[in-house]
Amino acid sequence: MILNSAELPISESFTKPTWDEVRRIYRRIGVLRATGRNEEAADLEHGELPRALTAARIQSSAPDQEEAAVFAEEAERLANATVTAEILASLLAERLRLPAVEPRAENPRPAATAATPRANEFPPAPPRPVPATSPTITDLLDGMLSQETAAARTKPRP
């Protein structure tokens, strides 16, 4: 017997990606807001999110409950991620000897190099303390590998 496709039962595997899409957009909005990109967040909130939400609700047997659950879960995830990021940033900064928040040291002669035409090509970065003793090469390599690991973790996944 041939059924019309509209009569086919909607399986879990069909519904999940749609709510997953809602989750993805919701998280993206949270990240954009956390990084101060409010306009982009608003665009998503008033564009992609309602579209994805409508599609998900159509396929859901209990749309209100599912929507509430999805948003609550993602809000919690975002809150946890923010706290984790704060802790991780401090740990990484310590590991890399990069002060998380440290005022910049005064330049020896700021006016002198400000006059150099190309000086602005390389804006200043926060200074780091210099250790008192000679480090071993193995320790230095550990520092290099920590940097590489941190960079790999922060690299966006395709």
Partner 1 sequence: MSTTSVDKPLPAAAVPANAPNVTVSRPASTPASTPTKTKTVLVGFDFGTNKSCVLAGPPAGHDISVSKVIPTVVGYVKDGIVDGIVAGNRSILFGDDALQNMLHVRLEQPMTHGIISHPEAARDFLKHIRSLADPTGTAEIRAVVGVPANATEQVREDIRRTAFGIFDRILLIPEPFLAALGYREDSRLGQANYIDPVVNSLFVDIGGGTSDLCLVQGYFPVADDQISLPFAGDAIDELLQEDLNRIYPNNGLSRHKVRELKETHGYVGPSRSPVEVKVVIGGKAHTLELGNALARACNALIDRIYPALTTLIQRASSDSVVTLLQNIIITGGGSQLKGIDTLLQKKLVEDGYESPKVKIAGQDYKRYVAIGALKAARAARDNQWQVLLG
Interface residues with partner 1 (CB under 8 A) are 96-98, 105-113, 115-119, 121-131, 133-138, 140-145, 147, 151, 155
Encoding tokens for residue 99? 């002060």
Q: How far is the CB of 157 from partner 1 (least distance, A)?
A: 14
- The conformation of residue 47, written as its DSSP 8-state character, comes to T
Least distance (Å) between residue 35 CB and partner 1:
16
Quick one: 69 or 140, whose CB is closer to partner 1? 140
CB-wise, 1 or 125, nearer to partner 1? Answer: 125
Helices and strands per DSSP (H, E), number in the chain? 6, 0
Rounded to an integer, what is the distance from CA 134 to the centroid of its chain?
Answer: 37
Pick the closest to residue 57 from 93, 104, 10 (CA basis).
10
Shortest Å, Cβ 96 to partner 1: 6
- The smaller minimum CB distance to partner 1, of residues 83 and 144, is found at 144
CB atoms within 10 A of CB 30: 18
* 9 vs 122, beta carbon nearer partner 1: 122
Find the shortest distance in angstroms from Cβ 152 to partner 1.
Answer: 9
User: What would you report as the CA-atom Rg of the chain, rounded to the nearest whole angstrom?
Assistant: 25
